[in-house]
Structure 1
Amino acid sequence: MQAVVGAQGERVLVVIPTFNERENLPGIVTRLHAALPGAHVLVVDDSSPDGTGDVAEGIAAQDTALRVHVLHRTEKDGLGKAYLAGFAWGLARDYAVIVEMDADGSHAPEQLCRLLEAINAGADLAIGSRYVRGGELINWPKRREFLSRGANTYARLALGAKVHDITAGFRAYRRTVLEKIDLGSVESAGYCFQIDLAWRAVRAGFDVSEVPITFTEREVGESKMSGGVMTEAFLMVARWGLESRIERFGLRKN
Structure 2
Amino acid sequence: MNTDGWKVPAFELEEFKPKKSKYCVCIPVINEGDKIKRQLEKLKPFSSEIIDLIILDGGSTDDSLNREFLVSNNVRALLTKKDKGKLSAQLRMGFAYCLREQYEGIITVDGNNKDSVESIPLFIEKLEEGYDFVQGSRYVPGGQEINTPLSRKMAIKLIHAPFISFMAKFHYTDTTNGFRGHSTRLLLDSNLQPFRDIFDTYELLAYLSVKAPRLGYRTIEIPVKRVYPKGKVPTKISPWKGNILLIKILLDLYKKKYDVQPAQLNYKNAIGERQ
Query: Above 0.5 in TM-score?
Result: yes
Counterpart in the other structure of 2:37? 26
Aligned counterpart for 1:190 among listed residues 201, 208, 215: 201
Aligned counterpart for 1:178 among listed residues 181, 187, 200: 187
Counterpart in the other structure of 1:135? 143
After the TM superposition, which of the residue ranges 153-162 and 24-33 deviates more from structure 2?
A: 153-162
Counterpart in the other structure of 2:52? 40
Distance 1:204 1:158, change over 3 A: closer
Counterpart in the other structure of 1:58? 68
Counterpart in the other structure of 1:157? 166
Counterpart in the other structure of 1:249? none
SS in 1 for 2:136: strand
Identity %: 21
Q: Is the 8 Å Cα contact of residues 45 and 71 (structure 1) preserved in structure 2?
A: yes
For residues 6-46 of structure 1, give each alpha carbon's deviation from its aligned partner in whole angstroms, at most 9, with x where no partner exists: xxxxx111111111113112221121121453211111112
Write the distance in 2 (CA, Å) between the matches of 1:135 and 1:42: 25
Residue 242 (structure 1) shift: 4.2
Residue 138 (structure 1) shift: 0.6
- TM-score of the aligned structures, taking structure 1 as reference length: 0.82
For residues 53-95 of structure 1, give each alpha carbon's deviation from its aligned partner in whole angstroms, at most 9, with x where no partner exists: 4x2x2233335xx642101112462111101111111111111
Does 2:251 align with 1:238?
Answer: yes
Distance 1:159 1:239, change over 3 A: farther
Aligned-residue Cα RMSD (Å) equals 2.5
Distance 1:13 1:159, change over 3 A: closer
For residues 126-161 of structure 1, give each alpha carbon's deviation from its aligned partner in whole angstroms, at most 9, with x where no partner exists: 111122222211122222211222221233235543
Write the distance in 2 (CA, Å) between the matches of 1:164 and 1:221: 22
Letter in 2 for 1:193: L
In the alignment of these two chains, the number of paired residues is 234
Return 5+ residue gaps in structure 2 as ranges.
Answer: 1-17, 258-275
Write the distance in 2 (CA, Å) between the matches of 1:58 and 1:148: 38
Letter in 2 for 1:26: K
Distance 1:221 1:228, change over 3 A: closer
Counterpart in the other structure of 1:251? none
Write the distance in 2 (CA, Å) between the matches of 1:233 and 1:144: 11
Return 5+ residue gaps in structure 1 as ranges.
Answer: 5-10, 245-254
Does 2:119 align with 1:108?
Answer: no
Aligned counterpart for 1:70 among listed residues 53, 56, 78: 78
- TM-score of the aligned structures, taking structure 2 as reference length: 0.76
For residues 177-214 of structure 1, give each alpha carbon's deviation from its aligned partner in whole angstroms, at most 9, with x where no partner exists: 11112012362333443111121212221001110111
SS in 2 for 1:184: coil
Counterpart in the other structure of 2:99? 91
Distance 1:217 1:12, change over 3 A: same
Residue 221 (structure 1) shift: 8.3
Q: Is the 8 Å Cα contact of residues 46 and 72 (structure 1) preserved in structure 2?
A: yes
Aligned counterpart for 1:148 among listed residues 138, 153, 156: 156
Write the distance in 1 (CA, Å) between the matches of 2:20 and 2:171: 32
Letter in 1 for 2:115: H
Write the distance in 2 (CA, Å) between the matches of 1:164 and 1:112: 19
Residue 167 (structure 1) shift: 2.2
Distance 1:188 1:2, change over 3 A: closer
After the TM superposition, which of the residue ranges 75-84 and 232-241 deviates more from structure 2?
A: 232-241
Write the distance in 2 (CA, Å) between the matches of 1:173 and 1:243: 22
Letter in 2 for 1:144: R
Q: Is the 8 Å Cα contact of residues 135 and 213 (structure 1) preserved in structure 2?
A: yes
Distance 1:34 1:74, change over 3 A: same
